[in-house]
Structure 1
Amino acid sequence: MTARVILLCHAATAAMRAGRFPDDEAIEPDALSNGAVLAARLPRVDAVVSGRERRCLDTAEALGLAATPSAELDDWSVGAWRGRVLAEIATAAPDLFAAWRSGPDAAPEGGESLRALLARVGAWLDARMSARKLLAVTHPAVVRAAVVHVLAAPPSSFWQVDAGPLALVDLRHDGRRWALRSSTLDAF
């Protein structure tokens, strides 16, 4: 039996538009003005899970989905950088910021390294190899980490994966391996 895990990035937030590391903010008021249309295009699933942050829960609610929050789907922890503008951090701590962007083991104070994020998301995904149809409302960083895991790509590949608001990734496991299926909501 094929397992299917569909990852959906949360809707847009003010932090995304401002180039700021997220805090626990809500989605933008008009981010899902067409939520009913979008929800109608989502595939039928057996279960819905989400990150515990407000932006994931708001997205699920706006789509009419009853999601079970899961810590494994929480956003990439950036510790002391939470809520701060990326450009400000790059200027104030250029060496640390550069190390974080180029080294998979670097992390901001109190935060999670890229390698730790990849391990967390990979373990969560591999525990779902027997899931029938699961939808996860989560964060761009979690979606990117899942793609890197499925492709067995090096950690540096994380930075080449783009996942914006409401991006959708369809993953399948056939009992032997994960595969990435390219799809859009129009395909469902």
Structure 2
Amino acid sequence: MTTRVMFISPAISTALRAARFGEGAGDQDELDAVGLRQAEAVRETFPRAAALYVSPSRRCLRTAEVLGLDAEPLPGLAPCAMGRWQGRTLDEVAAAEPQAVAAWLSDPASSPHGGESLLALHTRVGHWLDTLTVEGPEGADRADGADRKAPDDSRGRVIAVAEPDLIRAAVVHSLGAAPQAFWRIDVRPLTVTELSGRDGRWNLLSGRPLHSVAP
């Protein structure tokens, strides 16, 4: 069976707007007024899905809540652990540790912040994708949680509200690209990136605004 993964990036938040490294699970990053308004405008406009997941960061959990998605937080979809850089902006870190930032940007295996390397992130996300199996039995609920019979098109579909770095890593993996391609992918707030495939081979549809997704 073909697996379809619909990644939804979080709405704009205070940390995203400031280019601040998120603090991961339990952080206090909040959606700003623009992000809330945009998410509310597309609430419950999703196709049926067999499984709903969310990155365990505050902005993703809040985005899923505002969108009306009763999604399960997955530790495996946590953002890249940024060690001592968490909560700081890229400009702040670059001014204090220019050589460390240069190493981080040029070598995917490096982790000068003491957290997770980008190579480790790619491996984690790739493993999750390639081992993802969702049957979506007849009668599965709608993505909005309504108790309605689901047609066959829900089988194998996953919706995941995920951190931009997770989505970028998923795109790199789906294309079989080098890890350095991570830096050349832009994931905008509240957009959809879709992967479909089987047996570890993926096709990519990226960058759709969320309001274009038909229920």
Q: Which category of TM-score, normalised to the shorter sequence, fits these structures?
A: over 0.9
Q: Residue by residue, what CA displacement relative to the aligned partner does 1:86-133 show, whole Å, maximum 9, x if unpaired? A: 111111111110000110111133311010000011011111155601
Normalised TM-score (structure 2): 0.81
Partner of 1:109: 113
- Name the aligned partner's letter for residue 42 of structure 1: F
Partner of 1:11: 11
TM alignment of 1:69-148, pairs within 5 A: 69-130=73-134, 132-148=156-172
The separation in 2 between residues aligned to 1:10 and 1:183, in whole angstroms, is 13
Q: 1:50 aligns with which of 32, 54, 64?
A: 54
Question: Gapped runs of 5+ residues in structure 1?
Answer: none
Q: 2:71 aligns with which of 40, 60, 67?
A: 67
Q: Measure how far apart 1:35 and its partner are.
A: 3.2
- Name the aligned partner's letter for residue 17 of structure 2: R
Change (3 A) 1:39 1:175: farther
Partner of 1:166: 190
Q: Residue by residue, what CA displacement relative to the aligned partner does 1:151-176 show, whole Å, maximum 9, x if unpaired? A: 00000000001102112111001446
Say whether the 8 Å CA contact 2:187–2:207 is kept in structure 1: no
Moved over 4 A (4+): none
The separation in 1 between residues aligned to 2:213 and 2:89, in whole angstroms, is 36
- When the two chains are superposed, the root-mean-square deviation of aligned CA atoms in Å is 1.7
Higher mean C-alpha deviation, range 145-154 or range 50-59: 50-59
The separation in 1 between residues aligned to 2:52 and 2:80, in whole angstroms, is 20
- Name the aligned partner's letter for residue 14 of structure 1: T
Task: Select the structure of larger CA radius of gyration.
Answer: 2
Q: Residue by residue, what CA displacement relative to the aligned partner does 1:9-49 show, whole Å, maximum 9, x if unpaired? A: 11111111112212321222441324344234322212210
The separation in 2 between residues aligned to 1:102 and 1:78, in whole angstroms, is 16
